[in-house]
Chains A and B, each alone.
Chain A
Amino acid sequence: MSGKNEHPEDFGTGARDLQEHFEPHELKNPIPWPLIAIAATLAIWGGATLLFDARATTTGRDALLAQGRPEMTPSLVETAAQEGDAAAARSAALYDSYCATCHQTNGAGVRGAVPPLDGSEYVLADAALPVSILLRGLSGPIVVDGEVYDARMPTWHATLGDEEIAGIVTHVRGAWSNDAGPVSAEQVAATRAALSAELDRPWAGGAELFDAFGEFSETMADDQPEEPRAQ
């Protein structure tokens, strides 16, 4: 090799070793036996995997069929219906169609945009408070669970009847981790009557609610923004 003469430093021992290594091998055994052994092992593994997966196909299909309706967040409507309580089922359905769009089916709301209902002190306070929020709606800053929300909740008094509002509030107060008492249609009617003149004006935020309902929660009083910000 001419390179050897020109560059003794480039083709030293390494090159000679290599020559010695492969010259004798190549004529006898062009394919090293370990490679053939690996190939055979892989082939057996491959066949076994194919067989296993053929079995899994059937199992998986059956599982999916048995599952029937998919478990998204388990539907509250269905859960209530299974418990045999028709009224509760109706309330859950009302919640799903009017409220879940924003507050989500799990009542967690949407971080930064929609306050949670699960664990909310407004929901768990005296029933007149959540009822009057539903009736009048809300437009202004409100602090829930330490977070400020710029609320814009629709006014429902014209859309929903006393019984429907009672159902929704009862549902929300008892759903998820909430554990507050039910609300009757009569209570809603009374609140509606008391608010009569102001039904079309949404609450201006947490501060106004606090003024109207007094200290329903000790922690919240200090949290509320002083003045409702102008929209």
Chain B
Amino acid sequence: MVFTIGTLVLVSFAVSLMALVVLIWAISRSDLQLDQHDADTIFEAEARPAGFDDPSERTEDTRSPIGIGGEDLHPAASRQAVLFMLGMATLWLVIGSVFGLMASFKLHMPDWLNDWAPLTFGRVRTMHLNLVAYGWATAGGVGLALWLIPTIFGTHLRLPRLALLGGVLLNIAVAGGVTAIGSGWTDGLEWLEIPWQFDILFAIGALCLVVPLLATARHRQVHHIYVTGWYYLGAMIWFPVLFVVANIPGLHVGAQQAAVNWWFAHNVLGLWLTPLGVGAAYYLLPRIIGKPIYSYRLSLVGFWALALFYSQVGIHHLIGGPIPTWVVTLSVVQSVMMFIPVIAVAINQHPLWMGNLSAFRASVPLRFVAIGALLYTAASFQGSLEALRSMNSVTHFTHYTVGHAHLGAYGFVSLVLFGGFYYVVPRLLGRVWPMSWLMHAHFWLVTVGFAIYFVSLSIGGWLQGQAMLDPARDFLASMELTIPYLTGRSIGGTLMLLGHFAFAINLVAILAGRGAERMPLAAAPQPGE
């Protein structure tokens, strides 16, 4: 048995490695007919000169994308679907972060708001997670995809009504699912709490969103699928499969269910939220700066290595747990292999914005995306290290992992989404953001707030883990020592929530018709600060 299984693991690892070698070899031989020129696809898909491009504050940049043939890439129906998703995502972000902050306060004020079951920690925390993961990040990421896919493919969104219907169903599922969790009706698995009855609705909604996006990809007017497109197409296929398999009720039980649970929960980060974020960053960074990414061929390694390795990392959540050693080890090794795609993405993205720091200073959307991309690298490196057995023994079961989860889901995905929203909404509405000071306030509140959040939890969590491993110390000590750090987290979280309010107010204002309209280029005010 041991021999057979050990062999299987080696096979799995060897196959992943061989796939990587073949990929690198093929790229080196140029068999894939991919060259640096393809990185300019984004500048060619729409009739728009390459150059610094920040529609958040400069009215002349707010034009909706026009295809090469003169086609308006975002007619009214498409615009409606995108705005609906972005608006709902922001609503869920605000509600979700209110719950998150409540949960944070409850950890150092344990008797606060305890008289009503829906406000107990276990439920508030869970509503927070589901709102921000499926409401904010998913709806927001898909909303950006609804704008980006037509834009990079140089054609309008196909079946926009179906996409809108999908968006409505998805959001109803989130609202219903989270209400159910609050009332105590849950499937009980982390990341899969939403009752399967609502999951059906969610899956149908997701499908209604995926079909129009794939149909749009089929009708593309460009010679090349830009890297953003690979990430998006991959994610559109992966997520429905993951979501349906993991949510089939009654199929999984006990420790085996735990394996499915973490296979899903990590893949929903790695094969859904990550591609949505990396894909958006691959578009937004070069687009706003006006220059292509460093090495287009390298992006291919980044994408396929992500698919090969990330898909097998989930069981590192069960290190030291009741899952056969070989599965755990496989996930540990694949987690460490994640260094490869992450370095590839980092080489591609960071020199671009670091070499254009003046653009970085000038553009708030770019700042959000660039810092988000940087934190993607940081979160992934940290994740690979946390999967090492020696480090995992300390950090697992502690608040350190909560800090890590937020580094990925907030520092990376959410910041990229913020930047994306600030870029896309003005180009949809033809208006700049009405209160740019709120946008700046948002940036500083969430970056400073998140820095406090992350540092507090990382230090507190590490000390907590060391105390837990020390048999000479009472278990209670490991909890008691975290209180100051948990309080620090609440302070950071409060700043983040204030930032989200600033963001939401600005969005409501721009949707309500405020903000300077685009003027003819000649009459546009000269930018400059």
Contacts and interface: CB of A to CB of B under 8 A. Distances in A.
Contacts of B337: 42-43, 46
Given A2-B50, A31-B28, A36-B24, A17 B355 contact: yes
A18 B362 contact: no
Given A1-B290, A50-B13, A31 B301 contact: yes
Interface stretch (B149-157, B189-197, B248-256, B292-300): B292-300
A40 to B, nearest CB: 10
A10 B344 CA distance: 27
Contacts of A22: 294-295, 351
B52 A54 contact: no
Given A2-B51, A10-B362, A46 B355 contact: no
Contacts of A11: 52, 290, 356, 358-359
B350 to A, nearest CB: 11
A194 interface: no
A26 B296 CA distance: 8
A35 B294 CA distance: 15
B336 A46 contact: yes
Contacts of B525: none
Contacts of B24: 31, 36, 39
Nearest to A43: B17
Contacts of B53: 3
Interface in A23-39: 25-27, 30-32, 35-36, 38-39
B340 A35 contact: yes
Chain A contact patch, size range = 35 or more
Nearest to B51: A3
Interface in B130-145: none
Given A1-B51, A3-B290, A50-B9, A15 B355 contact: yes
Contact of B36 (A15, A21, A26): A26
Contacts of B334: 46
Contacts of B20: 39
B2 A1 contact: no
B330 interface: yes
Nearest to B351: A18
B332 interface: yes
B6 interface: yes
Interface string A195-230: 000000000000000000000000000000000000
A47 interface: yes
A69 interface: no
Contact of B340 (A10, A17, A39): A39
Interface of B: 2, 6, 9-10, 13, 17, 20, 24, 27-28, 35-36, 49-53, 290-291, 294-298, 301, 324-326, 328-330, 332-334, 336-337, 339-340, 343-344, 347, 351-352, 354-359, 362, 527-528
Given A15-B291, A18-B356, A45-B336, 10 more contacts: A2-B49, A9-B528, A19-B291, A30-B28, A31-B28, A35-B344, A46-B17, A49-B333, A54-B325, A57-B325
10 closest A-B pairs by CB: A3-B51, A30-B297, A18-B355, A3-B52, A53-B329, A46-B333, A2-B51, A57-B325, A54-B6, A10-B358
